Structure 1
Amino acid sequence: MSIKSVCSYLLLFLVGAMPRVFAQDSVTTFRLLDSVRQLRPDTSTVRVMLDQGRNTARYFDATKTENAFILSAIALSQQLKYPRGLALAYNELGTSKRNKSQYILAEDYHERAVKYAREAKDSLLLCQSLNNAGVDCRRQDKLQKAFDFHFAALQIAEDIKNVKNICVATNSIGNIQLTEKKYDEAIERFQHALKLEEESNNPLGMAINLGNLGYSYQGQGKLDLAIQYYKSSLAINEKLKNVTGMVICYNCLGSAYQEKKEYALAMEYLQKALRANDQVDDKVHIAESYMNIGKLLSVQGKHEEAYHFFQQAIGLSAYLGFKSILMDTYKAMAEDYKSSGDFRKSLEATQQSLLYKDSILDEKSAMALNQMQTIYDVDLKDNQIRNLEHDKIMAQMRTKRNVLLIFSLIAFLVMMAVGGFFYIRHRNLEENKQTLQLELKSLRSQMNPHFIFNSLSSIHRYIWSNNQEEASDYLTKFSKLMRLILDNTQHTFVPLNKELESLQLYLDLESLRCNGIFDYHIVVADDINDDEVLIPPMILQPYVENAIWHGLVHKLAEKGLLEIRIRLSGRSLICTIEDNGIGRKKAMEIKERKGKTHNSVGMKVTQGRIDLIRKINNKDASVEITDLVNAAGEPTGTRVTIILPAEFIF
Structure 2
Amino acid sequence: MNRIIIYFRFYLEKTYFCSSNAKTKIVKTNRLRGLIKKYLIGLSVMVFFFFNSCTPQAPETNTKLDSYTKILYSKPSSQVLDSLFQQAQLDFSDSAQVDIMLKIYKKTIRSRPIRHDILDTAIFLAQKINYKIGLADGYNKKGLNYRYALDYQESVDYHRKALHYYEQTTDTFGRIKCLNSLGVSLRRMNYERNAMDHYIEALRLSRLINSDRSIAVALNGIGNVYVNIEQYQQAMPYFREALAIEQKSNNNRGINYDLSNIGEVFMYQNQYDSALNYYSKALEIANNLNHKDNASIIYNCIGKLYQGKKQYEKSNIYYDWGIEKFKEFGGKRYLSNTYINMGVNYNRLSNSRMAKKYITEGLQIAQEINSRENIILGFDALSHYYEKEGQYDLALYNYRDGIALRDSVNIEKTKSHIAELETIYENERKDNRIKEYQYQSELENRRKLTLWMLISFLVIAVFVLFYLYQVKRRNSKLEMEQMRNDIQEYIQRLEDFEIQSKERVSLEKEKSKKAIDENIETEKDIFYNNVKKYGLSEREMDVLLLISEGLKNDEIAEKLFLSVSTIKTHTRNIFIKLDVRNRIEAARKAQKP
Structure with the higher fraction of residues in helix conformation: 2
- If asked which structure has higher relative contact order (CA below 8 Å, sep 6+), I would say 1
TM-score, normalised on structure 1? 0.45
**Higher relative strand content:** 1
Larger radius of gyration: 2
TM-score (norm 2): 0.49
